[in-house]
Amino acid sequence: MMTIMKARYRLFATIMAGLVALGSVHSAVFAGNGHSQGSAAVDSARLRAADREPDAWMRAGRTYDDQRFSPLTQINAGNAASLGLAWYSDLDSDRSQEATPIMVDGVLYISTAWSKVKAFDAKSGRLLWEFDPKVPRDVGQVACCDVPNRGVAVWKGRVYVGGLDGRLIALDAATGKLVWSTQTTDPRLSYTITQAPLVAKGMVVIGNSGAEYNVRGFVSAYDADSGKLKWRFYTVPGAPGDPHTTPQLEAARKTWSGEFWKSGGGGTVWDGIHFDPVTDMIYFGTGNAVTWAADIRSPGAGDNLFTASVIAVDVKSGAYRWHQQLVPSDEWDYDVCSPLMSADLMIGGRRRHVLMQAPKTGFFYIWDAKTGETLSANAFAPQNWATGIDLKSGRAKVNPAVRYGVDRPAIIWPAPQGAHNWHPISFSPRTGLVYLSVTEQNAAFQQMPAQTFEIKDRVFNTGVIFTSDAIDRLYAAPGAPKRGLGASYLQAWDPVKGQEAWRAAYPEYGASGTLVTAGGLVFAGNHGGDFTAYDARSGRRLWAQPTQSRVLAAPSTYMVDGQQYVALLVGGRGPSTGQVRTSATSANNSRLLVYKLGGTAQLPNAAFKSAVALRLDPPLLTGSTERVIAGQQSFGKYCAGCHGVSAVADKAIPDLRFSPVLHSLTEWKGIVLGGARSANGMVSFKGILAEGEEENLYHYVISEANKAKAADEASKRP
Ligand code: CA
């Protein structure tokens, strides 16, 4: 095979040399590698030989190992200071942008919020085509964390994207026209897809999200040509007699109690699916169980397999190979769906082929990719939930003090968003370091009384209270940690030594994806809105430019016609501090930005004229204290996911405290129960809310709006 590959590339080289001599190379015809532009002629052989095509970035993680390391060196530590914007494109989605751009055969492919796909000429930035799957906006209600999409996969002339509504969609890479589409989930249940599909052995592999709701996790593999289901792996047992039961799931059933299947069980695989052609295995991590509170979902405890676990399956059949449960009987939303990557490392004097992950839990794991043996697990961030990891069994030694109850709240590090979440990490074989965004934060948990808790459709079913007098007392106690957001930084982690090599502080709390290059550069954005290049060995800041937006996504880099580019999607929920909306089509300056050495393009610097100035103008509070307190509880349960904790929202989803609707309970009811704004994604909560609950919510928001107004006025007094 290698010989054929070599011959094929030699042939291309010869043809290309001939064309160059004739002066007939045209970027609209050839992409510089013999493939016509837009052909997306990616296959296994080409991906396995990706290092012979350093110019391309053919999949989200670039190579099969998902290291996100580029061999390109034109942009390097010596000249990064002269980076500038080559071109940019405004996006028409004003929600979070989380995709890594893919560049193959001269075309840059991206996905954006609401699962839209766009293809650009990678050099000029000319839009070639766009595709909108027209996801029904009410699906946003069951998407835990906005409506992003983390990227596309390209394969043999097709582009694959997961629709937020659970569809897997295949497009023609040249035209953007639909080839096939299949519903991978039960649309009646609260499933969503935000991850990039993974292509392996001619199959498209995809999981789903929804473990905060009431779903059962699974991973599916579809034939890339036809869209036919090839295999499906369920991560938690179903109801007794479930036809999908395997011996492993039957064994897993013994780690649960009660009628757990009625709430789906959870364990969704919502990101981080990895294929390793060395072992021919697919690896993925699973999310939390439903509910978060263990005493509600599985009274009397049990490990609740295979939630919060990393699982290896055979790529061809989907058959179980090994698993490691990172968090036995998780209660803190410690999904282990963070990116997985494979690498060859020298460990204990031996060359080992390993799988690595930096999950939410704050421990950096290295496993033997073939056997699943835990080779190391070292804390990369503050945590108090485990006193360590037993390497022999792989089992975490859970600190009993963090197991919370109805009368026993507990403060836990890290918070549910994790010490590191989905944000792509990168590894440089040159420096031997892994580059990741770390966020430090604690959270307090208290269980809802089991008898007052009821599993409901389309809402968070955590069984947990995050605000209470008991929690306030806990934080007020001597020696308690500071409540709220902590530090966040770019960390260079030495996986072999199991320790931090350096860190560079971010200006604002939040995480972003990373990219590392053979030019000795690490690229990362941040929530302060900068896009920054760091020296990969020292962490020294070599270049930064404002993007006018929060950056969540990871950059990628590619070369066209001898010019190296760095591409990045920007856009979070709301612009970063001190920045204003500059685009008519997007509330948060969502854009695709492409940089090169000496680039001179400029972002618009004037605020978009019709941006509405927000004004706090609530009516006086007339609701009783009881109503406000009940409304606070309901808000945490039903509203906070979109409209923000304590009713403080970002700028893409309305901050209800500023809403003129607060002046009319009738209008409020028309929206909350009547579905008057369902076309915008604010669906009716009729049948979900108990009688009078909508009114409690109304008074609670008015109360919060008046508090904010009073604080605002107090701050303006001399
Ligand atoms: Ca989760």
The DSSP letter of residue 36 is B
Residue 27 confidence class, pLDDT cut points 50, 70, 90: very low
127-162 as b/e: b if 16+ CB within 10 A: ebbebebebebbbbbbbbbbbbbbbbbbbbbbbbbb
Ligand 1 geometric centre to CA of 191 (Å): 13
| Percent of the chain at pLDDT exceeding 90 | 79
Ligand 1 geometric centre to CA of 80 (Å): 38
Is the distance from CB of 274 to CB of 198 less than 8 angstroms? yes
| DSSP H helices in 397-477 | 469-476
pLDDT of residue 651: 59
Ligand 1 geometric centre to CA of 443 (Å): 14
Instruction: Classify the phi-psi angles of 131: left when phi > 0, otherwise alpha if psi is within -120 to 50, otherwise beta.
Output: beta
With the C-alpha atoms ordered 428, 502, 361, 462, is the resulting torsion angle positive or negative?
negative
Segment 212-231, tens digit of pLDDT: 999 999 999 999 999 999 99
3-state secondary structure of 178: strand
- Measured CA to CA, the distance from residue 525 to residue 98 in angstroms comes to 12
469 is catalytic: no
Is the distance from CB of 96 to CB of 113 less than 8 angstroms? yes
Tokens of 156: 């043999």
Run of H or E including 144: none
- Measured CA to CA, the distance from residue 178 to residue 543 in angstroms comes to 41
With the C-alpha atoms ordered 391, 392, 394, 398, is the resulting torsion angle positive or negative?
negative
Segment 628-682, tens digit of pLDDT: 999 998 998 888 878 887 888 765 677 899 889 999 999 999 999 999 988 878 8
Ligand 1 geometric centre to CA of 176 (Å): 33
For residue 329, the Cα-to-chain-centroid distance in whole angstroms is 23
pLDDT of residue 467: 86
Residue 14 confidence class, pLDDT cut points 50, 70, 90: very low
Of 333, 335, 530, 650, the catalytic one is 333
Ligand 1 geometric centre to CA of 287 (Å): 5
**Of 152-166, 247-261, 408-422, 446-460, the least confident:** 446-460
pLDDT of residue 611: 45
Residues in the chain: 718
CB atoms within 10 A of CB 534: 26
Residues 6+ apart with CB under 8 A from 711: none
Average pLDDT for 441-454: 92
State how far the alpha carbon of 193 is from the alpha carbons of 145, 146, 623, in Å.
Answer: 11, 11, 40
Instruction: Write down the mean pLDDT value for the chain.
Output: 92
The closest alpha carbon to 208, from 265, 165, 160, belongs to 165
Tokens 């350096």 correspond to what residue?
502
Please provide residue 172's backbone torsions phi and psi, each rounded to the nearest 5 degrees. Answer: -75, 120
Based on C-alpha coordinates, what's the Rg of the chain?
25
Ligand 1 geometric centre to CA of 520 (Å): 35
Residue 21 confidence class, pLDDT cut points 50, 70, 90: very low
- Measured CA to CA, the distance from residue 196 to residue 422 in angstroms comes to 12
Ligand 1 geometric centre to CA of 211 (Å): 6
- Measured CA to CA, the distance from residue 305 to residue 586 in angstroms comes to 42
Average pLDDT for 498-522: 97
The closest alpha carbon to 461, from 206, 638, 274, 313, belongs to 638
Ligand 1 geometric centre to CA of 466 (Å): 15
3-state secondary structure of 34: coil
Tell me the β-bridge partners of 597: 83
Ligand 1 geometric centre to CA of 283 (Å): 18
Segment 538-555, tens digit of pLDDT: 999 999 999 999 999 999
Run of H or E including 379: strand 374-379
Segment 95-140, tens digit of pLDDT: 899 999 999 999 999 999 999 999 999 999 999 999 999 999 989 8
Ligand 1 geometric centre to CA of 288 (Å): 5
* pLDDT above 80 for 606: no
Ligand 1 geometric centre to CA of 336 (Å): 9
State how far the alpha carbon of 588 is from the alpha carbons of 94, 211, 575, in Å.
Answer: 6, 28, 5
State how far the alpha carbon of 549 is from the alpha carbons of 402, 529, 553, 611, in Å.
Answer: 36, 5, 11, 15
Run of H or E including 570: strand 563-570
Ligand 1 geometric centre to CA of 641 (Å): 12
- Measured CA to CA, the distance from residue 397 to residue 34 in angstroms comes to 55
Ligand 1 geometric centre to CA of 310 (Å): 14
Ligand 1 geometric centre to CA of 293 (Å): 12
Ligand 1 geometric centre to CA of 356 (Å): 20
Please provide residue 110's backbone torsions phi and psi, each rounded to the nearest 5 degrees. Answer: -135, 160
Segment 610-629, tens digit of pLDDT: 444 567 899 999 999 999 99
The DSSP letter of residue 10 is H
Tokens of 157: 């002339």
Ligand 1 geometric centre to CA of 267 (Å): 8
From the number of C-beta atoms within 10 Å of its C-beta (0-12, 13-18, 19+), residue 348 rates as exposed
The closest alpha carbon to 135, from 160, 118, 115, belongs to 115
* pLDDT above 80 for 269: yes
Residue 582 confidence class, pLDDT cut points 50, 70, 90: confident
pLDDT of residue 608: 62
Residues 6+ apart with CB under 8 A from 218: 207, 208, 232, 233, 234, 235, 269
Q: Are strands 514-517 and 499-505 parallel, antiparallel or unpaired?
A: unpaired
- Measured CA to CA, the distance from residue 532 to residue 130 in angstroms comes to 29
Ligand 1 geometric centre to CA of 305 (Å): 15
Residues 6+ apart with CB under 8 A from 346: 352, 496
- Measured CA to CA, the distance from residue 693 to residue 537 in angstroms comes to 56
Residue 19 confidence class, pLDDT cut points 50, 70, 90: very low
- Measured CA to CA, the distance from residue 82 to residue 28 in angstroms comes to 28
Q: Give helix then strand counts, H and E, for the chain.
A: 9, 38
Tokens of 471: 């929690």
Beta strands in 192-256 (DSSP E): 198-200, 203-206, 218-223, 229-234
Ligand 1 geometric centre to CA of 333 (Å): 5
The closest alpha carbon to 360, from 282, 295, 316, 423, belongs to 423
Tokens 């839990």 correspond to what residue?
361
